[in-house]
Chains A and B, each alone.
Chain A
Amino acid sequence: MKKSAIALALAATLSLVGSAFAGDLVIKGSTTVLPIAQSAAEKFMESNSDVAITVSGGGSGNGIKAIIDGTTDVANASRFIKNKEVSAAVENGTYPVPFAVAMDALIPVVHPSNRIKDLSIEQLKKIYKGEITNWKEVGGADAKIAVVGRDTSSGTYEVWESKIMNKDRVTQRALVVASNGAMVQTVAKNKLAIGYIGLGYLDKSVNALTVGGIEGTVKSVLDGDYPVSRYLYMFTKGWPTGDTLKFINFVLSDAGQEIVGNTGYIPLR
């Protein structure tokens, strides 16, 4: 009785280990793209039960490194591949192929009671650098500005850094929150606050600002008018074939792009 139970447990463990290693398709890289890859993989496996997909994070750099080393089939990246990385890959005999799978846009947000409606990139930068510290300097009420930012390691911060800060440091006095959700909570509860969130997280508890007069909407982002946005990529090892091709096609299909929208990013069409 006991023995058979142990044997059963052992068999169960072994089969679990077995399936974890069977991964026909390995996806690695940016944590920004991770939610897309994860739900896409789940949906994909529902209709293709013979393909096992392993998805993990690790950052864009690590994903692309894995493409160069040949240890992954698909690399998620929240930025384009760098020249150095391309030459390293070519030296190793692989040629990374980029597929833009979604867009990501950040919207500056303030408390609903704030009468500011628009800030330029230059103003946003000065606020986050700590040079502008009072709302009246940008046309608002005479009140201090509570700057709220994200952790420097998050993909969201990366966009803000590259599109707004442009090599300058965010002031040390900035509050730091750990997620889009916490950002909405913090700004909604603080009359003096300014923060930024992914377009998909925008709700009525905060006021969205326009940037340089341009409102962040799915359309303005896709047209390339809205400045605080970027593409998200999946890189493949050479031109994709077999299951990799099937997966990339799935992500780019209507069903795949619907997943993109559901995870808070902007579908490409």
Chain B
Amino acid sequence: MDERIPGWLITLTASLSLFIMVFLIYFLVQEGIPTLREVSLKELLLNFDWYPTEEPPALGMAPLIVGSMTVTLLSAVMAVPFSFLIAIFLSEVAPSWFREILKPALELLGFLPSIVLGFLGMVVLAPWLQERFDLLSGLNLFNASLLMGAMIVPIVASLAEESLQAVPRELRDACYALGSTRWETIRKVVLPAALPGLLSASLLGIMRALGETMVVLMAAGGAALVPISIFDPVRPLTSAIAAEMGETPVGSAHYHALFFAGLLLLAMTLGINLVSMWIEKKGKERWMA
């Protein structure tokens, strides 16, 4: 009897959190779908005018979607190679005492509140960028992506390092026994073996960037337009939701549209998640073979 209690408790907590998740999704769908009564899906996704408080409202989310994607992609492009280098250094090159210090330090960096980064971008990075590149404003795609990159480096690097560590010792030893140098071992054995893990580490970082709000709200400039240069301002979905939700009349088309934006974000994250799961599965299959 007593032994069964922990089992029950775990089942109960697990189903409770599952229930909350389902409820959240239900709520998002319930509040988001009514937008489609006022505007067609095509207009929502493909129209480039976001003037939500006009009468009638212009609810084209295309610039917001593009904004989210460009910030996320650019930050990933900047952060992922850098993170991999850190991971390789930590796992394969650094002496173990140094690793013991650097790894926790890196993980600590990951806890830096994003509002601190956003503030840094606003008061330090933006004026410098403007001065340096002679721009209209330093609050732009590049600024936000750089900060976001800095934010996801600790996450990606730490996860990537773990997947490098998971490569069996024997593989390396065998490679050294054949007379390979350290660099050859890393390049030809360790990296290919850890590839699925490295990819899912990057995808987790990308997911984090996609959902990040504070940094883009403060540093991305907030103009709802499709960027042509990396120094153009953007307005990602997250910052539109954060900035506009508080002032929106409950039940209006604008209100529902913001929930719809939340649904879009959820769908994108879900997509990335599925890809990452698929990669992991592929990796495991290869291991078995």
Which of the listed residues B53, B126, B242 has the most CB atoms from chain A within 10 Å of its own CB?
B53
Q: Is A136 an interface residue (CB 8 A)?
A: no
1/0 contact trace for B201-241 toward A, CB 8 Å?
00000000000000001100111110000000101000100
Q: Is B41 an interface residue (CB 8 A)?
A: no
Are the CB atoms of B217 and A178 closer together than 8 Å? yes
* Segment of B135-143, B168-176, B267-275 engaged in the interface with chain A: B135-143
Separation of A266 and B217 alpha carbons in the complex (Å):
29
Q: Is B122 an interface residue (CB 8 A)?
A: yes
Partner pick for A153 among B53, B139, B225, CB 8 A cutoff: B53
Q: A153-B53, A189-B127 are in contact. Are A144 and B136 (CB under 8 A)?
A: yes
Separation of A57 and B49 alpha carbons in the complex (Å):
27
Are the CB atoms of A185 and B122 closer together than 8 Å? yes
Separation of A224 and B49 alpha carbons in the complex (Å):
35
Residues of B within 8 A of A153 (CB): 52-53, 243-244, 246-248, 254
Are the CB atoms of B51 and A155 closer together than 8 Å? no
Are the CB atoms of A62 and B235 closer together than 8 Å? no
Are the CB atoms of B122 and A192 closer together than 8 Å? no
Residues of B within 8 A of A200 (CB): none
Q: A144-B136, A185-B123 are in contact. Are A175 and B247 (CB under 8 A)?
A: no
Are the CB atoms of A175 and B249 closer together than 8 Å? no
Among residues of B, the one whose C-beta sits closest to the C-beta of A192 is B136
Residues of B within 8 A of A169 (CB): 51, 54
Q: Nearest Cβ distance between residue A99 and chain B, in whole angstroms? A: 22
- Could you say which interface size class chain A belongs to? 20 to 34
Are the CB atoms of B248 and A59 closer together than 8 Å? yes
Q: Is A67 an interface residue (CB 8 A)?
A: no
1/0 contact trace for B58-85 toward A, CB 8 Å?
0000010000000000000000000000
Q: Is B185 an interface residue (CB 8 A)?
A: no
Q: Which of A30-68 contact B (CB under 8 A)?
A: 31, 57-59, 61-62
Are the CB atoms of A152 and B51 closer together than 8 Å? yes
Are the CB atoms of A178 and B137 closer together than 8 Å? no
Residues of A within 8 A of B51 (CB): 152, 169
Q: Is B130 an interface residue (CB 8 A)?
A: yes
Q: Which of A216-255 contact B (CB under 8 A)?
A: none
Separation of A129 and B139 alpha carbons in the complex (Å):
20
Among residues of B, the one whose C-beta sits closest to the C-beta of A190 is B137
Using CB atoms and an 8 Å cutoff, list the residues of chain B in contact with chain A: 49, 51-54, 63, 122-123, 126-127, 130, 136-139, 217-218, 221-225, 233, 235, 239, 242-244, 246-250, 254
